[in-house]
Structure 1
Amino acid sequence: MIPLLVCDDSAMARKQLIRALPAEWPVSITQATQGEEALAAIRQGLGRVVLLDLTMPVMDGYQVLAQLRAEGLSCKVVVVSGDVQEEAMRRVQELGALGFIKKPAPAEEVRATLQRLGLLDLEPPLAPTAPRPELALKVNFRDALREVSNVAMGRAAALLAQVLGTFVRLPIPQVNIFEVSELHMALLDAQRGQRLSAVCQGFIGDAIAGEALLLFHDLEIGAIANLLGWQPQNETETSEMLLDLASILTGACLSGIAEQIDVRFSQGHPQLLGQHSAIEQLIRLNRERWKNTLAVEISYSLEGHAVHFDLLLLFTEDSLSRLTKKIYYLMEQE
C-alpha cells in the first residue's frame, strides 16, 4: 500500500478529494489539517505521496514545501488548491511540487494528473474495493460554505492579480452569523480607525439575496491607482476606479460561489457609499433586513504593497434556509 497524505484545513475539501481518488489505487490514507501536522506525518513515513492545500492556518502549503526541501524529506507532492494564480503555480513548482490541481478537483482530472506523474504506477493496482473508511468525514455547514468561498476567493484573486500585476495573498475565509449589533461591531473593527471608502453591490438568485461590501482603506487608494497605472485627477475619477475594481473582485467571487452551488446571481450596479460614514450608513439602511446576517469575510492583501481589500458577502436572514439547502445538497454530492 502507498502511504498517501491528504492535507487540507477543510473537512469538505478532504472528503471531496478522497472521493475523487481512483478506486483501484492501493493507498493507505492519512489526513492532516495544517502544515505542521503534515510534516509530522511525513517524518513518520505516512506521506510517500502528498496532496497538499496552500491556504491553511499555522503553516501553509508554501511553508510545507520549503520545509520539506530544508529537511531533505523524500515525498511526491501534488498541490490541490483554490489559489489558481499563475504565480502560485510557478512558486509551488519551484519549491518542488510535481503537479497542481485546481479545486474543486474532478475525479477525471485527479486521475489524469496522477497518471501523468506516474504515481498510479508506484504499486500494482488493486481491484476496486468498498468505499474507503476515511470517507466517513463529518462536514458542517460553516466548513462547507468556507470551502465554497475559498474556491471562489481564489478565482477572484487570480483575476485581481492579472489586473494589478502583482501576487495576491489569500486569507482563510471567515463565516459567521451576526446579529445586527455584532455585524456593526465587526464592520467597525474592519475600519481599524482609518477612513474608508465602501462599495456595495446587491445580488439575488434562487431565493438567495444579499450585499457584497468591499472596503477600501483611503490611505491605500493612491497605491492602488499606481498599480493600475491610473492617476485620478478628482474624486469622480477616483470613484470610477474603485467602482470598476469592485465590480471585478465581487463579480468574480460571486460567480465562483454561484457556479458551485448551481445558482445564477443577478447583480445590481455597484454603489459607492462614501467615506468615513459608510459603515454607519450601511447599517442604518439595512438594520431591518439584517437582523440575523450570515457573513463571509475575506481580506485580500497584495504582496510587496501596503494594500488590502476587505470583502464581506452579507446574506439576508430570509436567504439562510435556501442557502443551507444548497450547501447541504453540495455536501451530499461531494
Structure 2
Amino acid sequence: MGTRVLICDDSKMARKQLAKVLPNDWNVEIEFAENGQDALEQIAANAFDVLFLDLNMPIKDGYETLEALQGFSQAPVVIVVSGDVQPKAIERVKAMGAAAFHKKPAATEDIRTLLLELGVFSPNAQASVTPNDVATAAESFTLQETLQEVSNIAMGRAASVLAEMLNVFIKLPVPRVNILEVGELQMALEYSVKEDSCSAVSQGFVGSGIAFEALLIFNDSSFPDMATLLGMTDVSSREHETELLMDVSSVLVGPFMTAVGKQLNIDFSHGHPTLLGQHVKIADLINVKKASWKRTLAVEIVYEVENYQINCDLMLLFTEDSVPTLEHLLSFLAEDE
C-alpha cells in the first residue's frame, strides 16, 4: 500500500497543480477535499499519512482545520501550501501543528526536497500515477476558477507587504470573481463596505490587450486605526487623509499587480492613482464611473486587519473587451500547471 495523501484546497486548479508536482517516483494514493470540513470528515473515516492544506477556504479554513486536527489521535503530517505568505501566518500554522509551510505555486523540486526533509517520501521506481490523479489532471477550468487562484496568490503577496510594514496580521478571504452589470456591482460593493460613508482610490492598468481598473475602497471608520499604524498623528484634514489613502493603496495595489503580472507573464503599464471619492456613498462612486463600467468582470478581495477596525475592499474591474484575451492567457496558465 502506498502513502495516503489528501490534498485540501477549494480551488480545483490548485488541487490539480499540487497533484502534478508530487514526485513521480512516490508510491501514493491521492484523494481530494474542497474545504477543511470535507478534509476532516475524510480523515475521520480513513486515515491519511500526509495532508496538503490550503489556508483560505470557505466553510472551514486551514486554521480551523489545524485546530480540529489537534483532537485526532492519528492526525496526518500537515504541509500547509498557501498564497498567504505573511510571516505571522507561517508562525501560526507551525504553532498549531503544521510540519511545514510552502508558498503557492509549488514547484516539483521544492516539494520533493521538502518531502525528503520531513521523512514522508522514499523514492520508488515502481510507483505509478493513481486514477484520481489522472482524472484531476484532465479537468478543465472556467475563467472564474483560474482568475480566482491567480488573485489568491497575488492577494497573499500584497498582504504580506502590508503586514510587514505595519507589523500586523491581515485576515484574508477567498477572492470573489463575477461578471457584473453596473447595478449588480453597486449591490456587491454595498454588501462589502456596509457603511454609509467611504473613500476610494482608482488606478488604471493595461498590458497585452488587457485593460482594467484597480479600485481600493476604504470604510471611513478605518482612518483612525490606519493613521495610528502608519504613525500619522494628524488626519484631521482631507489632505492628510488623502496622503494616507495613497500610501495604503500603493502598498496593496502595487505588489498585487506585480504578482498578477508575473503569473500571466505581462508587464502592466499603469496610470497615476487618483482619488475617486472621499467620504461619499457607494452610489456616488458608481455614478462617477457608470459610463465606463456598465458590464465588467470583477475580482473582489476584502482585507481586514486583525485587532484593528480597518477594512478595505480591493476590486479589479476588467473591461468587457479584455475578457476574451484574459481567458485565452489564463487557459495557457491552467494547462502549464
TM class, shorter-length: over 0.9
Match of 1:246 in 2: 249
For residues 195 and 181 of structure 2, what CA distance do their matches in structure 1 show? 22
Select 1:317's aligned residue among 300, 320, 324.
320
Superposed, which structure 2 residues align to 1:90-105 within 5 Å?
90-105=91-106
Q: Give the letter aligned to residue 332 of structure 2.
A: Y
Q: Identity of paired residues, percent?
A: 44
- Work out whether 1:49 is the aligned partner of 2:50: yes
Instruction: Render the CA deviation track for 1:189-233: whole Å, top value 9, x for unaligned.
Output: 334232111011111111111111111111120110011111235
Q: Which contiguous aligned blocks of 4+ residues in structure 1 show a shift greater than 4 angstroms?
A: none
Instruction: Render the CA deviation track for 1:225-256: whole Å, top value 9, x for unaligned.
Output: 01111123522122111101101101111111
Q: Give the letter aligned to residue 271 of structure 2.
A: G
Q: Give the letter aligned to residue 267 of structure 2.
A: R
**Contact 2:220–2:279 (8 Å) recurs in 1:** no
- Work out whether 1:11 is the aligned partner of 2:8: no
- Work out whether 1:146 is the aligned partner of 2:145: no
Q: How far 1:46 sits from its partner (Å)? A: 4.2
**Contact 1:4–1:46 (8 Å) recurs in 2:** no
| Farther-moved stretch of structure 1 (93-102 vs 40-49) | 40-49
Q: Give the letter aligned to residue 143 of structure 2.
A: F
Match of 2:194 in 1: 192
Q: How far 1:97 sits from its partner (Å)? A: 0.8
For residues 130 and 226 of structure 1, what CA distance do their matches in structure 2 show? 54
Select 1:180's aligned residue among 163, 182, 187.
182
Q: Give the letter aligned to residue 7 of structure 1.
A: C
For residues 43 and 107 of structure 1, what CA distance do their matches in structure 2 show? 29
Select 2:305's aligned residue among 302, 305, 318.
302
**Contact 2:94–2:100 (8 Å) recurs in 1:** yes
Q: Give the letter aligned to residue 327 of structure 2.
A: T
**Contact 2:201–2:273 (8 Å) recurs in 1:** yes
**Contact 1:198–1:278 (8 Å) recurs in 2:** no
For the structure 1 residues 207 and 118, does the alpha-carbon distance in structure 2 shift closer, same or farther, using more than 3 Å as the test?
same
Match of 2:3 in 1: 2
Q: How far 1:262 sits from its partner (Å)? A: 1.0
Superposed, which structure 2 residues align to 1:80-229 within 5 Å?
80-121=81-122, 125-127=124-126, 129=128, 132-134=133-135, 135-229=137-231
2:206 match: secondary structure? strand
Q: How far 1:128 sits from its partner (Å)? A: 5.4
For residues 233 and 118 of structure 2, what CA distance do their matches in structure 1 show? 47
Q: How far 1:73 sits from its partner (Å)? A: 3.1
Q: How far 1:163 sits from its partner (Å)? A: 1.5
Instruction: Render the CA deviation track for 1:81-124: whole Å, top value 9, x for unaligned.
Output: 00100111111111111111100111111111111111113xx6
Please give the TM-score of this superposition, normalised by the length of structure 1: 0.95
Q: How far 1:278 sits from its partner (Å)? A: 6.4
Superposed, which structure 2 residues align to 1:252-291 within 5 Å?
252-277=255-280, 279-291=282-294
Structure 1, unaligned runs of 5 or more: none
For residues 82 and 36 of structure 2, what CA distance do their matches in structure 1 show? 14
For residues 113 and 281 of structure 2, what CA distance do their matches in structure 1 show? 49
For residues 232 and 270 of structure 1, what CA distance do their matches in structure 2 show? 22
Superposed, which structure 2 residues align to 1:72-83 within 5 Å?
72-83=73-84
